[in-house]
Structure 1
């Protein structure tokens, strides 16, 4: 990537890598930029339960309230809505196109949450698949 291309994408942001770690070469906190920063932000939103952050109790995604719910069509729809609402609220750099819950791995104890989005500033499409574990796996 050229310096000019990087300057044109600075508005997408730079932040700490998730999970936070120290770069062995520099001894500094590793950082990520641009689309990778957006992907990690999505991961942080989805893995943070509402009420988990003391100073921002509203931050996060409500799917964690559904961990022990029986997987029905209504619960799948609720997961899709909850994820869509959380991303629309906390990740302004993207436009959520679609959220779908795949049940192919239901017997393994998790659902695949597939998120299709577009980076608002660049119109670049993106896709993120999040495995939502709702119970201990029956087959290891």
Structure 2
């Protein structure tokens, strides 16, 4: 038999909620590779930590606003503000995780904060962890 073959098969889309791939690049056949749920969540968390509220159109409250701490001294108050901003941002904007813990400690360098985020994927319970160093004003 020649000619087109009709099918009712639907295109393969992700089975769980994943975000649009960050910096999507098509493969050799022109397809976009969707990230797995763990990678999608990790990329979203990283984007939320780097975003300043008001930076995205139509989403004025999106982001942790950690850039505001750039010139602040590395004090208990600064670490508490960072902790609260990260916790609130993740609980508000990343519903695919169960947040287990957010730790903000003074790094080995007085000009940085060491942030550790522990979470589980809500869908599967798979644990995840992100550690980041955030520069602050020192002292």
Q: What is the TM-score of this pair, normalised by structure 1?
A: 0.77
Match 1:123 to one of 119, 125, 129: 125
Conserved 8 A contact 2:73-2:136: no
Cα distance between partner residues in 1 of 2:51 and 2:65: 9
Matched, 1:14 2:8: no
Higher helix share: 1
Where structure 2 has 5 or more consecutive residues not aligned to the other structure, the ranges are 1-11
Give the greater-gyration-radius structure (CA).
2
TM-aligned CA deviation for residue 77 of structure 1: 1.2
Cα distance between partner residues in 2 of 1:111 and 1:29: 36
Which structure is richer in relative contact order (CA contacts within 8 A, separation 6 or more)?
2
Say what the alpha-carbon RMSD is for the aligned residues.
2.4
Matched, 1:44 2:47: yes
Cα distance between partner residues in 2 of 1:62 and 1:72: 17
Equivalent positions of 1:21-100 (< 5 A) are: 21-100=24-103
Higher strand share: 1
Cα distance between partner residues in 2 of 1:22 and 1:28: 8
Where structure 1 has 5 or more consecutive residues not aligned to the other structure, the ranges are 1-6
Number of paired residues?
A: 126
Q: Per-residue displacement from partner, 1:5-33 (whole Å, max 9, x unpaired)?
A: xx9x822x233332x14235244555312
